[in-house]
């Protein structure tokens, strides 16, 4: 039986225990690869990242009064500056950058509390947010394709990886389309399990890490307070990028509004959702994790499964915290090979991009108008092509960042109609 908004389990509903565990694990597996990949690329501890994502999610749920099913995972927007800062200065610099990101969120939340959120509609209208959400999804396409075809250990293309990715994708799609009952609610998890078993059968999975891992392993916690020195380069390189993840946040909230039939901008309010994100990043800086943001992967899971339960998201966060201390379990999940993650990514990242298209369709954005074309075209090409601005010393603005800023500026300065369109109307 479905609810009025088409959900199997709505935001405030809790599935039975058996289904609850499976649905929560599905969210855990969906975000795990990306959440631990960020610290691996940056040089941080994956266990800490897993812990901070779980704690950050629970804090977000607490601050938003359990109204929004959003999972907080490691943000890809800060990989380049964090990696540079880690190499040059070590974790204290990264921590200060992560802390500054959280502070920017809190400042914007205060502005929203004082002046409302209507100004955000002018800065981020559908003709800007839609293309940005599309870029967020499609900018991950290269990552999914690389995971699906390239052996990270050798850097070489492997046909076995390609096959595993296609099997994983095919099973995920088949499970989503043809399975009924509980299995029909967890197509992503089904795809990951079957893909993993197939990868194991053809020798793609490396279980050596599982054998070596201890059952109990305390994550290597660090803190922003480890150094009394202020790293201004960290703050200046990471704080501005918070505007990018804020736009991503807005896009995610818009998607959640659409699929759940609610308006989270009004209840619990955008100030609450921004505060939740900000506090989650600040908490991450206190334990040694990367900056966190709401995860499109988990929104994709919700769209596919039609399960919007906040309790399920909370369950995934709790599992993440537990798994961060269980070395064997964490190592087992870490052993999920790249092609399985890539195969699922083809579905999940595409769902994010499709959500951007849905925003444009629902708001009837007219691309016969030159203004809308002039905004969307550079956003899409600059963002997807990663036309980035690198000042050196860790100060690098990604293609998504440039596309976002450019979209905002174009929206604010371009007239409603092009001169040629006015001329046509007058005739």
Question: Does 395 reside within a domain?
Answer: no
Question: Does 376 reside within a domain?
Answer: no
Q: Tens-of-pLDDT digits for all 427 residues of the chain?
A: 677 777 788 888 889 998 899 899 888 887 876 787 778 767 788 888 999 999 999 999 999 999 999 999 988 777 767 877 888 888 888 999 999 999 999 999 999 998 887 777 788 788 888 888 788 778 778 878 888 898 877 888 889 999 999 999 999 899 888 887 667 767 777 888 899 999 999 988 888 888 888 888 888 787 777 777 888 878 877 887 787 678 778 878 888 888 888 888 888 989 999 999 999 999 999 998 999 988 877 888 888 888 899 999 999 999 999 989 988 877 777 788 889 888 988 887 787 788 788 889 988 999 988 999 999 999 999 888 878 777 765 556 667 778 888 888 999 998 888 777 766 656 5
Question: Does 411 reside within a domain?
Answer: no
pLDDT of residue 396: 60
d(CA 96, CA 102): 10
Bridge partners, residue 397, by sequence: 389
Question: Does 414 reside within a domain?
Answer: no
pTM score of the predicted model: 0.72
Question: Does 399 reside within a domain?
Answer: no
Question: Does 12 reside within a domain?
Answer: no
d(CA 307, CA 7): 6
d(CA 93, CA 231): 6
User: Coil, strand or helix: which one is 369?
Assistant: coil
Q: What would the two tokens of residue 60 be?
A: 């977000």
Question: Does 385 reside within a domain?
Answer: no
Which contacts qualify for 226-230: CB closer than 8 Å, 24 or more apart? 226/91, 226/92, 226/95, 227/92, 227/93, 229/92, 230/96
d(CA 394, CA 86): 9
DSSP code of 396? E
Count CB atoms within 10 A of the CB of residue 21: 14
DSSP code of 122? H
Question: Does 216 reside within a domain?
Answer: yes
pLDDT of residue 332: 79
Does the bond joining 115 to the residue before it have cis omega, within 30 degrees of 0? no
> What is the extent of the structural domain holding 237?
17-366
Q: What's the structural domain count of the chain?
A: 1
Bridge partners, residue 157, by sequence: 150
d(CA 123, CA 370): 19
């Amino acid at each position: 039986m479905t609810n009025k908004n088409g959900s199997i389990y709505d935001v405030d509903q809790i599935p039975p225990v058996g289904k609850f565990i499976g649905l929560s694990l599905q969210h855990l597996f969906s975000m795990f690869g990306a959440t631990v990949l960020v610290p691996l690329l940056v040089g941080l501890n994956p266990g800490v990242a897993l812990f901070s994502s779980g704690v950050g999610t629970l804090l977000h749920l607490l601050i938003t009064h359990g109204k929004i099913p959003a999972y907080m995972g490691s943000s890809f927007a800060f990989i380049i500056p964090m990696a540079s800062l880690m190499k040059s200065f070590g974790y204290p610099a990264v921590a200060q950058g992560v802390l500054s990101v959280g502070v920017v969120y809190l400042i914007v939340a205060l502005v929203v509390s004082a002046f409302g959120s209507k100004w955000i509609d002018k800065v981020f209208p559908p003709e800007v947010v839609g293309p940005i959400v599309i870029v967020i999804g499609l900018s991950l396409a290269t990552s999914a394709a690389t995971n699906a075809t390239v052996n990270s250990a050798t850097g070489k293309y492997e046909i076995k990886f390609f096959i595993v990715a296609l099997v994983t994708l095919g099973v995920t799609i088949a499970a989503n389309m043809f399975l009924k009952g509980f299995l029909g609610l967890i197509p992503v998890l089904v795809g990951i399990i079957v893909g993993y078993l197939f990868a194991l059968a053809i020798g793609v999975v490396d279980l050596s890490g599982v054998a070596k891992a201890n059952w109990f392993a305390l994550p290597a916690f660090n803190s922003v307070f480890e150094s009394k020195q202020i790293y201004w380069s960290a703050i200046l390189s990471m704080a501005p990028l918070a505007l990018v993840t804020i736009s991503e946040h807005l896009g995610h909230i818009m998607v959640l509004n659409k699929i759940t039939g609610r308006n989270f901008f009004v209840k619990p309010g955008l100030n609450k959702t921004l505060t939740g994100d900000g506090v989650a990043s600040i908490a991450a800086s206190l334990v040694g994790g990367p900056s966190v943001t709401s995860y499109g992967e988990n929104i994709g899971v919700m769209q596919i499964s039609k399960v919007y339960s906040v309790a399920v998201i909370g369950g995934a966060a709790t599992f993440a915290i537990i798994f961060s201390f269980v070395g064997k379990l964490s190592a087992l999940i870490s052993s999920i090979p790249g092609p399985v993650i890539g195969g699922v990514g083809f579905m999940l990242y595409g769902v994010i991009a499709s959500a951007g298209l849905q925003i444009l369709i629902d708001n009837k954005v007219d691309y016969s108008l030159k203004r809308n074309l002039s905004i969307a075209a550079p956003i899409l090409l600059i963002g997807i092509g990663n036309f980035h601005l690198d000042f050196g010393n860790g100060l690098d603005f990604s293609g998504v960042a440039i596309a976002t800023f450019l979209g905002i500026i174009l929206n604010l300065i371009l007239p409603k109609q092009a001169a040629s369109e006015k001329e046509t109307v007058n005739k």
